Amino acid sequence: MDAVVSRISSRRRLHAHACPIRDVLDRIGDAWSLLTLFTLEPGPLRFNELRRRVDGISQRMLSVTLRQLERDGLVSRTVTPTKPPQVEYALTELGQSLMVPVGALAAWASAKQPLIQRHRAAYDQAAEENPDDPSL
């Protein structure tokens, strides 16, 4: 009985607000964080260069994303006191360490994408052919 209670408690913790997995996925699972991190992986960039390289991101959204990544310690912001001031963003050591598992996930996604697309197509076709089937 204790083992069952322990498993249930463990599952509930996965869904709790303070769950480490949820906390990290909330940060990197948004639309722009991973793209920003991948763009910074080769080295530091100034804001406008970063914005040009992250296709489709607005200036406001890049600012918000960088602030969130900086708050979590994944990105550093360095201001050079020139006229006008230059601001450069770089991955921190913590951010670089995140790129290892994220890189593995990206490799898996690239390798498995064709298979996932085939499964989606088969599922969608079955759902279209059987619109009244509640299991689809």
Share of the chain above pLDDT 70, in %: 87
Q: Which residues pair with 45 in a beta bridge?
A: 89
Q: Is the dihedral of CA 35, 39, 45, 48 positive or negative?
A: negative
Domain range 31-92, its CATH number among 3.40.190.10, 3.90.1150.10, 3.40.30.10, 1.10.10.10: 1.10.10.10
> Is the pLDDT assigned to residue 114 strictly greater than 90?
yes
Give the residue extent of every domain in the chain. Answer: 31-92
The average pLDDT across 49-65 equals 97
Mean residue pLDDT across the chain: 89
Cα–Cα distances (Å) from 89 to 15, 22, 33, 121, in that order, read 33, 25, 13, 41
List pLDDT tens digits, range 69-102.
999 999 999 999 999 899 999 999 999 999 999 9
List of residues 6+ apart from 136 with CB closer than 8 A: 123, 126, 127, 130
